[in-house]
Amino acid sequence: MRTPRSSGGTGTSRKGHRFGTPIWPGTNSLLWIALPDAQVSRLVMQLGVLKKSYLKPPALQVFVFPAEGN
């Protein structure tokens, strides 16, 4: 069985550059979640509560896209 690997997300934010290079090491974690429309606002609210529970809150960005499928 193969273990899934991820190269991580790269980019720039208020926390700095993350390009996975020696100059700008590290990458960002990405989490894709598919939910029914009725559950999206609750998840976003709970993520906000989680973020506020940290003494130094992590950078967290939520994007909502329409999706179709089973």
Predicted confidence at residue 38, as pLDDT, reads 92
51/38 Cα distance (integer angstroms): 22
Domain membership of residue 6 (yes or no) is no
Within-domain flag for 44: yes
* Alpha-carbon distances of 29 from 18, 32, 41, 68, rounded to whole Å: 11, 10, 21, 24
Which helix (H) or strand (E) segment holds residue 16: the answer is strand 16-18
Return d(Cα 41, Cα 37) in angstroms, integer. Answer: 8
- pLDDT at residue 48, rounded to an integer: 92
User: Does residue 20 fall inside a structural domain?
Assistant: yes
Q: What is the pLDDT of residue 7?
A: 61
Q: Domain range holding 30?
A: 11-52
Residue 70: per-residue pLDDT: 63
Q: What is the per-residue pLDDT for 39? A: 93
Tally of domains within the chain = 1
Q: Would 31 be classed as within a structural domain?
A: yes
Cα dihedral value 52, 57, 63, 67, nearest 10? -70
List of the chain residues with pLDDT < 70: 1-7, 70
Specify the pTM.
0.62
